[in-house]
Amino acid sequence: MPTGVYSSNCIINKNIDWAITRKFKDFAKNHCGAVLVTNLAIYFSSSGYKNLIVDDSVSNTFNFVHKIVGNGPVIKLSSKARTYFAERGCDLHYKRVNSYEKIKEAVNRGNPLGLLLSNGFTNWHWVMVVGWREYETGDNYLNIVDGWNNSINRFYKINSRSIWWMATEYWIGKS
């Protein structure tokens, strides 16, 4: 990350055991979408929706999610996430977000986002956005749970290393 003065916001401030792809590579393939939905369940569970974690187990939760989401690449993930959450008794809502400013507004409301990064027709990766960072120099970064590491100290510089991106804001409750 660059040095310098910045402003930021992150909706995660605790140590969370995130789902990561390598934990499930023995039976799942191209499964970053299922990992994202599992991580959404973990996030919302940490916010009080405890029924989203199957038998208090991240592995059991991933297995349940993977039965709904399947292997990837998966581009239409939101309706599958909603199906999982409904199976667990939660009303998940979502909407497409099409700018950095809208991503920032979602985070400021306390809502995580799914971010699909693409470098080609089927070269995609789903990550979860949990924060933003703006430097005085004008560089904007998204604080992400990338599905490869069990850390929120990961960042994606907006509009870099990807030919396009698509974001979806998620929340539970009234639409």
User: Are 107 and 90 within 8 A, CB to CB?
Assistant: no
Query: Is 37 a domain residue?
Result: yes
Return the structure tokens found at 80. 């599958």
Domains identified in the chain, total number: 1
Q: Is the pLDDT of residue 148 over 90?
A: no
What was the pLDDT predicted at 118? 81
- Residue 39 domain flag: yes
Question: What mean pLDDT is predicted for residues 148-157?
Answer: 83
Distances (CA, A) of 66 to 16, 55, 122, 161: 20, 16, 19, 28
Least confident of 5-9, 17-21, 128-132: 17-21
Structural domain span for residue 90: 6-11+20-172
Read off the pLDDT of residues 45-92 as tens digits, 9 standing for 90 and up. 998 999 999 999 999 999 999 999 988 778 889 999 999 999 999 999
Structural domain includes residue 124: yes
CATH number of the domain at 77, please. 3.90.70.10
